């Protein structure tokens, strides 16, 4: 019995306990505590108001919620990667001069604009994920913050990495920076999502 028990139920259990007090100790031990007797008495019919046999697990605390959140995160990251990968590159322009043909390589596209476009493409999935994580009790506050930052941090890395690589070493630097960012996002983000999903599923199993 807990602090939220209905007063009528509490009175019923108190009366039952007093009646059981007149029994012999051996018979009383066989019957068990008053709360257990009440549960057995109402096992096949409606319990009195306020009497709870067990708390119902909220929908957002079920074991499938962490899996859905991880899938939404993975799809969001994939959209960011695809949009940025299709939007950023370099352009080679050739021109003829009296001294001969000259080739000029320029940075094509804007990594910042590409990252923003990728973030916007992933925004609907991210919003659904954020709602599930925010409502659910399967994650601690720090874990919720980590979930919410995965996609924005990935977008920032994709916005800054290729541009920085281009500034330092031209096309080769951009390629190295882009692959480095991709490896960080896939490996680091994947590991983080795995840890967050496993911990949440353990809590869901314990609650269920």
The whole-number pLDDT of residue 206 equals 79
The whole-number pLDDT of residue 125 equals 94
Three-state secondary structure along the chain? Answer: CCCCCCHHHHHHHHHHHHHHCCCCHHHHHHHCCHHHHHHHHCCCCCCCCCCCCCCCCCHHHCCHHHHHHHHHHHHHHHHHHHHHHHHCEEEEEEEEECCEEEEEEEEECCHHHHHHHHHHHHHHHHHHHHHHHHHCCCCCHHHHHHHHHHHHHHHHHHHHHHHHHHHHHHHHHHHHHHHHHHHHHHHHHHHHHHHHHHHHHHHHHHHC
> Mind listing the pLDDT tens digit for each residue in 23-50?
666 555 555 565 565 555 555 554 444 4
The whole-number pLDDT of residue 32 equals 56
The whole-number pLDDT of residue 192 equals 94
The whole-number pLDDT of residue 114 equals 79
The whole-number pLDDT of residue 59 equals 79
The whole-number pLDDT of residue 47 equals 45
The whole-number pLDDT of residue 207 equals 66
Residues of the chain with pLDDT under 50: 1-3, 46-54, 90-92, 104
């Amino acid at each position: 019995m807990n602090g939220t028990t209905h007063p009528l139920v509490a009175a019923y259990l108190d009366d039952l306990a007093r009646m059981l007090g007149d029994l012999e100790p051996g018979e009383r031990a066989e019957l068990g505590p008053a709360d257990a007797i009440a549960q057995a008495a109402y096992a096949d019919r409606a319990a009195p108001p306020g009497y709870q046999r067990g708390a119902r697990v909220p929908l957002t605390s079920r074991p499938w919620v962490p899996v859905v959140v991880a899938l939404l995160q993975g799809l969001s990251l994939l959209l960011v990667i695809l949009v940025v990968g299709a939007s950023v590159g370099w352009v080679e322009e050739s021109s003829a001069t009296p001294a001969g043909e000259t080739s000029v390589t320029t940075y094509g596209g804007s990594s910042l604009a590409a990252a923003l476009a990728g973030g916007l493409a992933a925004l609907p999935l991210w919003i659904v994920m954020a709602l599930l994580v925010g409502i659910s009790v399967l994650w601690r506050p720090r874990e919720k913050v980590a979930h919410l930052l995965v996609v924005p941090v990935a977008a920032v890395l994709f916005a800054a990495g290729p541009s920085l690589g281009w500034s330092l070493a031209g096309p080769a630097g951009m390629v190295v920076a882009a692959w480095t960012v991709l490896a960080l996002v896939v490996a680091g983000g994947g590991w983080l999502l795995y840890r967050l999903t496993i911990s949440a599923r353990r809590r869901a199993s314990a609650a269920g």
